[in-house]
């Protein structure tokens, strides 16, 4: 009789272990999507350019590009 209880406990433990593995495998793809959501935010930071004269960072759309170099509004070569 004690053996039956032992095997029953073993079966319950095995079931709980499998349930944990299944739960952890379900959480893994969820973590992947959360990290993927963070990538567009970092991609936006890559669009920030640095002024060659003063080193000020600004959005690429606001910067002035001359001969492959970025300049801010005050340091654009045409102003000099
Ligand atoms: Zn500047």
Q: What is the tens place of the pLDDT at every residue in 17-41?
A: 999 989 888 765 555 555 555 555 5
Neighbours of ion ligand 1 (CB under 5 A): 51, 53-54, 72, 75
CA distance 53 to 39: 30
Strand, coil or helix: what is 70? Answer: strand
Q: At CA 43, angle to CA 25 and CA 68, rounded to 5?
A: 150
Q: What is this structure's pTM? A: 0.40
Query: Above 90 in pLDDT, residue 44?
Result: no
Q: How far is the CA of 44 from the centre of ligand 1 (A)?
A: 21
Write the DSSP symbol of residue 77: G
* Domain boundaries defined on the chain: 1-46, 47-80
What's the CATH number for 47-80? Answer: 3.30.60
Bridge partners of residue 46, in order along the sequence: none
Q: Say if residue 79's pLDDT is above 50.
A: no
Q: Which tokens sit at 52? A: 């060659």
Ligand 1 centroid vs 55 CA: distance in angstroms? 6
Q: What is the pLDDT of residue 47?
A: 87
């Amino acid at each position: 009789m004690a053996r039956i209880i032992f095997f029953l406990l073993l079966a319950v433990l095995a079931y709980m272990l499998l349930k944990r593995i299944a739960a952890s495998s379900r959480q893994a793809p969820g973590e992947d999507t959360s990290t993927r959501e963070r990538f567009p935010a970092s991609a936006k930071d890559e669009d920030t350019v640095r002024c060659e004269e003063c080193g000020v960072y600004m959005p690429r759309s606001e910067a002035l590009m001359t001969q492959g170099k970025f300049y801010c509004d005050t340091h654009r070569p045409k102003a000099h």
